[in-house]
Amino acid sequence: MSSTFAPSATSTWSTVRLTAKRSWHATIDLSARRSVLLHILLLLKAKYGTVDAKISYIGRRAELALYSQAFSAWEYRNPQTLSRRLHSLVVKLHLNNLAVREETAFAMEQAQIFEVAVSRKRKCSAVDVSVVDKRARYESVEAVATASPLFFDGNRDLLQHVCSFLAAPDVIQCAATCSQAASQLPAFVTSIEVTTVAMSKLEATVRASFFGRFPNLESFALTGRMQAQQFNFQDEKTLVARNVLVRSVLQALSNAELPKLATFSLNFCYSEGLKDHVTSQVANVLVGPDSRFPRLQTLSLVGNCISDDAVMDLYDAVALPRDALANESKLALLDLSQNFIGERGHLQLQEVVTQFASRDSALVVNVMNNLLTVAVPAESL
C-alpha cells in the first residue's frame, strides 16, 4: 500500500472499534466461507504436501480465526493477502504462548533494579560524614593526577567541537577516562544507534539510568535482527529476552527528561503477541498526553508484528483530545512498515492523518508491506 495517507474531506472523526467488526458477517454465506477454507487448505497442502485430518483441523481453526478477526468481507475474502494473514496469525499465536514467561522475566528484572536502588540508598545513608570527607580528598588528588585541566576545565566549546566528529561509542569511551570527562562528555552526545545484542550486554541497573546520562539526546535508534531471523521460534529464550529488553528501555525512557529528542526508532527489536502490549507502552511513553518529549517528530516501529489493536493505542495517544495545558503532538513521520496491520488499522491511520491536517499539521504514515494490497475498495475508505 502507499507509504502516505492523504486526508479525505469527507472523513468522519470516529474511531473504528471492534464493535463494528462483525456487522459484515450477515453478508457472508457458507459457500463463501468454504471458498476461503479451500484457499487455506491449498496453502497448507503446498507447504506440507498433503491434507490429512490434522491439517484439515488446522485449516478450519485458521479460517474461523480469520473470520473473527477480519474487519470487512473484502479483507476476509481477499486471496492476495491470505498467505500473509495466515503467517501473522501463526506468529502472534506462538508469541502469545510466551506471554507468561515474558511477564515473569520482566518482573524479575524490575525487582532486581529496585533492590539495587534500595541497597545503594542504604549504603549512602550509612556512610559517616568523616569518611565522605576523606574520600572526597582522595578523589580530588586522583582527579588532578589523571585529568589535565587543559581539556576538561573551561574548554566546553572545544570539547563539544571535538566530540562532534566522534560517534557516540567513542565519546562514551572518552568519558570513561576520568571523573571530569564522565561528568561533561555525555552531554555532547546527540545521537545513539545501538543493536539489541549490544544493549542486552548492559546490566539491567545500567539500562535503568541509561537515558539520564544524555540530556541533549536528539535521536535514538534500537535495531534488532531483520527478516526471518527475527522469528526463530526454536529460540524462545531470545524472543522473550528481546521483548523484556525493549520494555526495560521504555521504562527507563519514561523516567528521563529529554527535551530535545526528535527521532526515536525501535526497528525489528520486539515481537508483539495478541495484545500488542509493547506498542501500547510506546504510545503512552512517547506520544501520549503525558509524554516528556515535546519535540518528537519521527517515530519508527518497523518490523515488530504490530497489528490493528496497536494502531488503536497509537491513535488514542496521538489524536484524541488533550487538556488545555498539553501541547499538540508535533509528530511528522510515523513508520509502521513491515508489520501486521490490516484494514481496520489502515482506516484508523487515515483518520489520524485527517485530524492532523485539520490543525494544519502534516503527518506522513508509512504502512508498506502490511496486510493490505495496493488496491483498497473505494467503499471501505
What phi, psi does 130 have (nearest 5°)? -65, -35
| CA separation for the pair 304, 337 (Å, rounded) | 9
344 within some domain: no
* pLDDT beyond 90 at 193: yes
Question: Which cell goes with 379?
Answer: 467503499
Torsion of CA 206, 258, 264, 314, to 10 degrees: 110
Residue 341 pLDDT > 60: yes
pLDDT at 145: 41
Residue 142 lies in a domain: no
76 within some domain: yes
- Residue-level pLDDT at 254: 94
Q: What is the pLDDT of residue 179?
A: 75
Q: Select the more confidently predicted residue: 222 or 141.
A: 222
Average confidence score pLDDT of the chain = 81
pLDDT at 226: 72
- Which pTM was predicted? 0.80
Of the candidate ranges 167-171, 208-212, 221-225, the one whose mean pLDDT is the lowest: 167-171
Residue 376 φ then ψ, to 5°: -105, 130
Could you tell me which residue, 167 or 380, shows the higher pLDDT? 167
- DSSP secondary structure letter of residue 286: I
The total of structural domains in the chain comes to 1
Lowest-pLDDT range, 59-68, 190-199, 261-270, 325-334? 325-334
Contact assessment for residue 16 and residue 351, using Cβ atoms and an 8 Å cutoff: yes
Whether residue 270 contacts residue 310, with contact meaning beta carbons closer than 8 Å, is answered with no
Asked if the model's pLDDT at residue 296 lies above 90, the reply is yes
Residues 287 and 252 sit within 8 Å (Cβ to Cβ): no
224 domain residue, yes or no: no
Q: 30 in a domain, yes or no?
A: yes
* Structural domain contains residue 253: no
- When comparing pLDDT for 250 and 148, which is higher? 250
Is 159 a domain residue? no
* CA distance to 26, 102, 117, 235, per residue, from 107 (Å): 44, 9, 15, 21
pLDDT score recorded for residue 25? 87
pLDDT given for residue 69 in this prediction: 85
- Give pLDDT, residue 98: 92
- CA atoms of 272 and 128, how far apart (whole Å): 49
Which ranges of the chain would DSSP assign to H, the alpha helix? 30-48, 53-69, 73-77, 82-96, 99-126, 129-146, 149-152, 156-163, 168-175, 179-184, 196-200, 204-208, 236-254, 277-282, 308-318, 343-358
| Alpha-carbon distances, residue 172 vs 215, 244, 313 (angstroms) | 14, 25, 36
Structural domain boundaries, residue 40: 24-92
Integer CA distances (angstroms), 8 to 85, 125, 189, 328, 347, in order: 27, 61, 41, 21, 11
Please give the grid coordinates belonging to residue 253. 525512557
**Sheet containing 298-300: order of strands:** 191-195, 219-223, 263-267, 298-300, 333-335, 364-366
% of the chain surpassing 70 pLDDT: 77
- From the list 79, 70, 72, 43, the residue with the least C-alpha distance to 59 is 43
Average pLDDT over residues 67-80: 88
Q: Does any domain span residue 45?
A: yes
